[in-house]
Amino acid sequence: MKWTVGRVSITEIVELETVGGTRFILPQVGPDDVQQLPWMMPHFANEAGRLKMKVKSLLLQTPTQRIVVDTCLGNDKQGRSVPVWNDLHTPYLADMAAADFPPESIDTVLCTHLHVDHVGWNTRLVDGAWVPTFPNAKYVFGDIEYQHWKTHSEKPEHAAVFADSIQPIVHAGRADLVASDAQLTEEISLIPTPGHSPGHMSVLITSDGAQALLTGDVAHSPVQMAHPEWSSKVDSDALQSAATRHELFGRFADTPTLVIGGHFDPGHIQRDGDAFKFIALQG
Ligand SMILES: [Zn+2]
C-alpha cells in the first residue's frame, strides 16, 4: 500500500492484522453499533460488525529524508501484557527492505507516542543486547511523552517497554526530544494531540498543496469518528482524548486531507450531524 502527497510518498508496512479481538481496547463498541454505520464496511469492519485493526508503520519518503512513523511491536520482546505480542518473529525488516526501505537507509524514526505497539522496532536483539534497529537514524520522541514514561513506568509492561525499546536509544545518544508542535522538515510537522497518552502527537504532511494527516492513536477505529466520546481503555485521559478527537476531526473534516490512522486504513473525514464519518479511500 502506497500513497502520494505532493512530493512525499507514504508506504505502509503491516506487522499484524486482526479482526475482532478489539473489545479490550474499545469495550463499549458492539457489532450492532458498527453495523449501524454502513461506511465502516468493508474496510474498517467485517460484515459481522467486528472491527479490523492493523499494527503498522508508515514509511515517508520526502525530497530530503526517509522517515519511519511508529515501529510496531518488534521481534523477541518479552513481558508484554497481550500474550501474542511476546517473542514475535515477523519478517518486518525483510518487508521494509522489499519495499526499498532497508534499515540503514532510514534518516529518522518518529514515534507518535511511546506505547508498546509504536516503539518495538526501535531496537532489535543482537548478541543479547538491545541495539538501535536503524543504524543511521535519529529517533524523534515527544519531550512531554518521554518525560512522562521516564517517571511513570512502574507497571511491569511499561517498565519492559521502556527498558528494551526506549532507554537503549537514549543511551546510544540517538534520541531527539522535540516539542509536540515541532516542524521536522519542510513538509513534515507535528500536531499536539494529547489524551491517548500525555504527549501524543499526530503528523501533518504538506507538499505542493496536498495534505495528509497521520493520526497515530487519536482513534483506534473510525467508529470513534461517529462517536468521538468513545475513548479507548488504553487512553491515559478519556476526557482529554475525546476533546482531542472533536478538535482534530473538526479541523480536517470536509477537506481533501488524506487521513491515515495508526491502526486503520486511509480515508477522508466528513461532518455527519454533530459528529463525523470516515469515507474509505478505496471502494
Ligand atoms: Zn497507543
Question: How far does the centroid of ligand 1 lie from the alpha carbon of residue 208, in Å?
Answer: 31
Cell of 152: 511513570
pLDDT tens column, 238-247: 999 999 999 9
Question: How far does the centroid of ligand 1 lie from the alpha carbon of residue 256, in Å?
Answer: 26
Mean pLDDT for all residues in the chain: 96
Q: Whole-angstrom Cα distance, residue 229 to residue 237?
A: 12
State the pTM of this model.
0.97
* Dihedral sign computed on CA atoms, order 224, 230, 233, 235: positive
For residue 61, which phi and psi values (nearest 5 degrees)? -110, 110
Question: How far does the centroid of ligand 1 lie from the alpha carbon of residue 207, in Å?
Answer: 27
Q: Tell me the pairing of strands 210-216 and 258-261.
A: parallel
Question: How far does the centroid of ligand 1 lie from the alpha carbon of residue 60, in Å?
Answer: 20
**Secondary structure of residue 187 in the 3-state scheme:** coil
Question: How far does the centroid of ligand 1 lie from the alpha carbon of residue 238, in Å?
Answer: 13
Question: How far does the centroid of ligand 1 lie from the alpha carbon of residue 200, in Å?
Answer: 9
The answer to whether the CB of 109 falls within 8 A of the CB of 134 is yes
Split at pLDDT 50, 70, 90, the class of 145 is very high
Question: How far does the centroid of ligand 1 lie from the alpha carbon of residue 122, in Å?
Answer: 15
pLDDT tens column, 171-196: 999 999 999 999 999 999 999 999 99
Question: How far does the centroid of ligand 1 lie from the alpha carbon of residue 58, in Å?
Answer: 15
- For the CA atoms of 228, 231, 234, 237, the dihedral, rounded to the nearest 10 degrees, stands at 100
Assess whether pLDDT exceeds 60 at residue 283.
no
Question: How far does the centroid of ligand 1 lie from the alpha carbon of residue 46, in Å?
Answer: 23
Q: Whole-angstrom Cα distance, residue 19 to residue 220?
A: 13
Question: How far does the centroid of ligand 1 lie from the alpha carbon of residue 27, in Å?
Answer: 16
In sequence order, the 6+-apart residues with CB closer than 8 A to the CB of 163 are none
Question: How far does the centroid of ligand 1 lie from the alpha carbon of residue 116, in Å?
Answer: 7
Mean pLDDT for 109-116 is: 98
In sequence order, the 6+-apart residues with CB closer than 8 A to the CB of 242 are 195, 228, 229, 230, 231
Split at pLDDT 50, 70, 90, the class of 25 is confident
Question: How far does the centroid of ligand 1 lie from the alpha carbon of residue 114, in Å?
Answer: 7
Cα atoms in the 13 Å half-sphere on the side-chain side of 259: 28
Cell of 63: 525530497
pLDDT tens column, 28-74: 889 999 999 999 999 999 999 999 999 999 999 999 999 999 999 99
Give residue 282's pLDDT.
Answer: 76
Question: How far does the centroid of ligand 1 lie from the alpha carbon of residue 232, in Å?
Answer: 9
176 CB neighbour count, 10 Å cutoff: 16
Question: How far does the centroid of ligand 1 lie from the alpha carbon of residue 152, in Å?
Answer: 15
**Secondary structure of residue 224 in the 3-state scheme:** helix
Distance of CA 48 to the CA centre of its chain: 26
Instruction: Kindly state the helix (H) or strand (E) to which residue 241 belongs, with its residue range.
Output: helix 238-252
In sequence order, the 6+-apart residues with CB closer than 8 A to the CB of 89 are 75, 76
Question: How far does the centroid of ligand 1 lie from the alpha carbon of residue 100, in Å?
Answer: 27
User: Which residue's entry shows cell 500500500?
Assistant: 1
Question: How far does the centroid of ligand 1 lie from the alpha carbon of residue 236, in Å?
Answer: 9
User: Which residue's entry shows cell 508503520?
Assistant: 57
